[in-house]
Structure 1
Amino acid sequence: MTLDRDAFFIDGDWVAPASGDTIQVVSPHTEQVVATVPEGSTADIDAAVAAARRAFDEGPWPRMSPEERIGIVQSFSNLYAGKLGEMAEVISTEMGSPLSFSNLAQAPAPWMQIEAFLGIARAYPWEESRTGVLGTEVLVRREPVGVVAAIPPWNVPQFTIMSKLVPALLAGCTVVVKPAPETPLDPYLMAELLQEAGVPHGVVNIVAGGREVGEHLVSHPGVDKVAFTGSTAAGRKIAAVCGQQLKRVSLELGGKSAAIVLDDADLAATMEGLKFTALMNSGQACVAQTRILASRSNYANVVDALAETVSAMQVGDPLDPATEIGPMVAQRQQERVEKYIALGQEEGARVVVGGNGMPDGLSSGWYVRPTVFADVDNRMRIAQEEIFGPVLSVIAFDDVDDAVRIANDSEYGLAGTVWTGDVDAGLDVARRVRTGTYGVNTYTMDFAAPFGGFKSSGVGREFGPEGLAHYTELKSIYQP
């Protein structure tokens, strides 16, 4: 099966690119080119926005009933369900996610989002009548926000596309998706399914490209809302542009989340949980809980257990079902993580497991050794800055109040967990940590509940009715 492509999906058809520039998709495992696709230009973005604008201003999609749109999105969902295995393999091939994680989350979770949003849309109050304080009858409508620019990152590409695309479609919006240049392949499969499902021309348009085309899309006057997932630095720039233009915006940004291990926690169960919550997707996850907080009295036990757990995890070929930690997405990411490992040692942290250098048995690929640091002070850069790789910092706390203080001592506020034998005590901790999502003895994302961050972790929410609301405008119609 060839993964090469030579066109963009614009206005319901496959359209030749405006330039001859291409993106070479390189396997993070073999460092060999696995596909060549067009690289988008500002002219391609202009064409995509123009198509989306026509489809919104003149086309049928925003004027359909919610039930009609739900029917077409349901067809898309049914088709998507039949392609989960293929989608998982494509994502693992292009960005190096372990196939075990791709089969668990990279492909099924996007489909679960579609189904969850369909359920939400069926019960959503698209129109409701109210009696005003003066006795006036008011019809409150939720109308589509307009043309949406959806900009996902490379780490969980389909997951972050669906959190924007599906609520936008159900609300009646039209969309331009700008995939990251590292992961341009999976959207082609998605586009084919949208086409087969009968989504009208111009409703979804897809142009992959780098920073320049992303900036052009964000500032484009034909775009009404920007939905972005990515770094906090990029999010600040996007927010500034949208603020100047009074353009609607939602931002799901970075994290540096803490996992608090209380003394009464089942340590074996905690370690099994941290394999996922701290190291999911090889540590390339915004919600990864890479700060591990342990009491001083239990500190050595937690460090030893974590070292044993991480040392036993299999590192290697992402397409091997036994692999638990794969390569970094690109050489620049490998180098970034290695610099942080070196920085941690310079700051005085102690390497317990890992360190710089290729993992044993590997001579090529953009791999780093999964690393556990002990003796970490929360003021160190490795404890404050998002590394986005398999690097964990174990930080000591004096008591529960101190643990909450340390967890909150971060510019971010996206996720976190507490591990304890007392669920009520865990809930008390959860209420005190300032993050948008939190777990007691577990961590997950339920697509019926809002997801997003406090502080520098973003603006707005995805999933749940709250996520759908971001793609609507409220209109009040007064009647005598």
Structure 2
Amino acid sequence: MGFELPDRSVLPRHPVIVGDEPRQSGSGAMFCHLYPANGQPTGEVAGAGAADVDAAVAAARAAQPAWRAMNGDARRDLLLRYAAVLKQHAQELAALETLGNGSPVMMAGYAPMVAAQRFEYYAGWADKLRGQTLSAWNNPAHNYVDYEPYGVVGAVIPWNGPVFAAAMLLAPVLAAGNCVVIKAPELAPYSVMRMGELFLEAGFPPGVVNMLAGGPEVGAAIVGHADVDKVAFIGSGGTARKVLQSAAENLTPCCLELGGKSAVIVFEDADLAQAGQMGLSGAISVSGQGCVNGTRVLVQRSIYDQYLAVMQQIAGHIPVGDPLDPGTVMGPVISEASVQRILGIVGKAREEGARVLTGGQRLDGEYADGFYLPLTIIADVDPASSLSRHEVFGPVLAVTPFDSEEEAIALANGTDYGLGAYIHTRDLRRAHSVANQMQAGMIHVNASGEGMQPFAPFGGMKQSGFGRLGGEQGLLEFLQTRNVWMNLKAPQ
């Protein structure tokens, strides 16, 4: 197993794209990207700075009137053309995603195709924006509602799935008639840098999409910019608090998609083989580094030991290895700092009396230079413990028994998060009843992620954020509602 870096000549070279000008360096600091599989640098990126943010926002502002005025069918055709370009470059984008964050190419290969679906879906909305006619009381009038794009949207996305995250935001933002300044994450910049280049190759007007690669200071400059009309942020709750504080200076509205501690509830009548496999997926997918991943498993006591045995058996057959190997299912986590933080969480769980059934130690040998952790199952986790209540963002599952349906619901809702929930049962009444009581924005029954479709709204409750991405709700998120009252009363 080589863990070799791909040919560096294929890396995108433009960390700054402002208007129609791709630049090979920005005005900000240099940053070095490390390949998570072997800890080696892929190269240094001359990132954006405050001057680039000003230029990008100005370019977006200048381009927005024409983009807003463009006929919906013309915007539709450009979005469809971009979707086709993403498909043409799917293999390249998948490799850049793998290089960026260590996602196995088996999984990363889906990202460009799923991203293309987002653009295809919202292309269908671009020529169908519709208002509403309202009845007028008291006086004859024509009273109607229509929609207006915000103008310039500032977008900040995470490193754990940048191709999908970028598409999830950009497709509705652009379909609604906004222009955008998006920051590529410094821990995994390459795939979004390439997506920015592809907008120009697809023929988008200059300034409609502006891309800046850089660190937190670039995101802060975008969020706090007085000429940004709306902020769209995907990331952690801690950073979101800073986003809100900065946006508050200009009363800039925000859409926030944040973290989660999604519960997987396994009732005694569930299909254990299916529920076991799907229960593990929260720790396997992107090595557990996903906001909506189910990483807190609640199991009815009557099947608790049996279910743990099923999970252990499946876990022993999950291939971990080189992300560029098509047979790899689990790759590394993002950084050395993440390795140490996650091991500290596991150590604390041990001290608190939980049982580590699988994993719990850093992988060594041929994996020693990379940021590798195995799939870790921790049983008998106290619902009040830190492991049960807080996001790990790593390949760690916390498993807790419950006795009754009511207890399961209370435990599932017993955190500050409310992004996802997963319910496993054959009882249709129970499925509907429990889903109806979940304090979460996305709920799966006997499934493990299939619901994140372009036509379905996605977002959180409580400290998992506010606003929605996906579906018609995702389009309306980036439109402002306007009421027009036209007096038709005859002059006296």
Decide: shared fold, TM above 0.5: yes
Which residue number corresponds to residue 21 of structure 1? 29
Question: Contact 2:301 / 2:401 at 8 angstroms: preserved in 1?
Answer: yes
Distance 2:61 2:409 in 1: 48
Question: Contact 2:79 / 2:120 at 8 angstroms: preserved in 1?
Answer: no
Distance 1:20 1:214 in 2: 12
Amino-acid identity (%): 36
What SS does the corresponding residue of 2:56 show, helix, strand or coil? Answer: helix
AA aligned opposite 1:269: Q
Higher deviation after alignment, 256-265 or 352-361: 352-361
Which residue number corresponds to residue 225 of structure 2? 220
Question: Of 162, 168, 174, which aligns to 1:163?
Answer: 168
- 1:278-357 paired onto structure 2 within 5 Å: 278-357=283-362
- For the pair 1:30 / 2:38, whether they are aligned, the reply is yes
Distance 1:91 1:183 in 2: 7
What SS does the corresponding residue of 2:320 show, helix, strand or coil? Answer: coil
Question: Contact 1:257 / 1:291 at 8 angstroms: preserved in 2?
Answer: yes
Question: Of 66, 74, 84, which aligns to 1:78?
Answer: 84
Question: Of 364, 376, 383, which aligns to 1:378?
Answer: 383
Taking structure 2 as the reference length, what is the TM-score of the superposition?
A: 0.93
Change (3 A) 1:427 1:160: same
Question: Of 96, 112, 121, which aligns to 1:116?
Answer: 121
Which residue number corresponds to residue 405 of structure 2? 400
Question: Contact 1:359 / 1:369 at 8 angstroms: preserved in 2?
Answer: no
Which residue number corresponds to residue 203 of structure 1? 208
Superimposed CA distance per residue, residues 104-159 of structure 1 (whole angstroms, 9 cap, x where no aligned partner): 3x22221111122223334431x443332243102322111111001000001011
Question: Contact 1:4 / 1:35 at 8 angstroms: preserved in 2?
Answer: no
AA aligned opposite 2:95: E
1:103 Cα deviation from its structure 2 partner: 1.7
1:87 Cα deviation from its structure 2 partner: 1.0
Distance 1:124 1:425 in 2: 38
AA aligned opposite 2:294: Q
Change (3 A) 1:360 1:381: farther
Question: Contact 2:16 / 2:47 at 8 angstroms: preserved in 1?
Answer: no
Higher deviation after alignment, 259-268 or 358-367: 358-367
1:6 Cα deviation from its structure 2 partner: 5.0
- For the pair 1:247 / 2:252, whether they are aligned, the reply is yes
Question: Contact 2:22 / 2:197 at 8 angstroms: preserved in 1?
Answer: no
1:389 Cα deviation from its structure 2 partner: 0.5
Change (3 A) 1:7 1:402: closer
What SS does the corresponding residue of 1:298 show, helix, strand or coil? Answer: helix
What SS does the corresponding residue of 1:438 show, helix, strand or coil? Answer: strand
Higher deviation after alignment, 196-205 or 458-467: 196-205
AA aligned opposite 1:217: I
Question: Of 439, 454, 458, which aligns to 1:451?
Answer: 458
Distance 1:95 1:418 in 2: 30
Distance 1:441 1:378 in 2: 23
Distance 2:33 2:189 in 1: 8
Unaligned 5+ runs, structure 2: 1-6, 488-492
Distance 2:129 2:308 in 1: 48
AA aligned opposite 2:134: R
Change (3 A) 1:7 1:255: closer
Which residue number corresponds to residue 145 of structure 1? 150
Question: Contact 1:315 / 1:326 at 8 angstroms: preserved in 2?
Answer: yes
Change (3 A) 1:379 1:140: same
AA aligned opposite 2:455: A
Which residue number corresponds to residue 419 of structure 1? 424
Distance 1:394 1:89 in 2: 34
Superimposed CA distance per residue, residues 240-299 of structure 1 (whole angstroms, 9 cap, x where no aligned partner): 332342211100000001100100111111122223344311101001111111112211
Unaligned 5+ runs, structure 1: none
1:428 Cα deviation from its structure 2 partner: 1.5
Question: Contact 1:307 / 1:352 at 8 angstroms: preserved in 2?
Answer: yes
Which residue number corresponds to residue 68 of structure 1? 74
AA aligned opposite 2:210: N
Which residue number corresponds to residue 129 of structure 1? 133
Question: Contact 1:12 / 1:203 at 8 angstroms: preserved in 2?
Answer: no
What SS does the corresponding residue of 1:364 show, helix, strand or coil? Answer: coil
AA aligned opposite 1:335: Q
Distance 2:280 2:136 in 1: 53
Which residue number corresponds to residue 464 of structure 1? 471
Distance 2:28 2:62 in 1: 26
1:401 Cα deviation from its structure 2 partner: 0.7
Question: Of 100, 103, 107, which aligns to 2:106?
Answer: 100
- For the pair 1:435 / 2:440, whether they are aligned, the reply is yes
1:369 Cα deviation from its structure 2 partner: 2.1
Which residue number corresponds to residue 93 of structure 2? 87
1:172 Cα deviation from its structure 2 partner: 1.0
1:419 Cα deviation from its structure 2 partner: 0.8
AA aligned opposite 2:273: A
Question: Contact 1:219 / 1:242 at 8 angstroms: preserved in 2?
Answer: yes
Change (3 A) 1:7 1:464: closer
Higher deviation after alignment, 223-232 or 340-349: 340-349
AA aligned opposite 2:77: G
Distance 1:175 1:155 in 2: 21
Question: Of 376, 396, 418, which aligns to 1:391?
Answer: 396
Distance 2:469 2:163 in 1: 14
Question: Contact 1:359 / 1:368 at 8 angstroms: preserved in 2?
Answer: no
Superimposed CA distance per residue, residues 194-220 of structure 1 (whole angstroms, 9 cap, x where no aligned partner): 112221111111111111121111111
Superimposed CA distance per residue, residues 319-354 of structure 1 (whole angstroms, 9 cap, x where no aligned partner): 111111110111111111111111111221111111
Change (3 A) 1:367 1:438: same
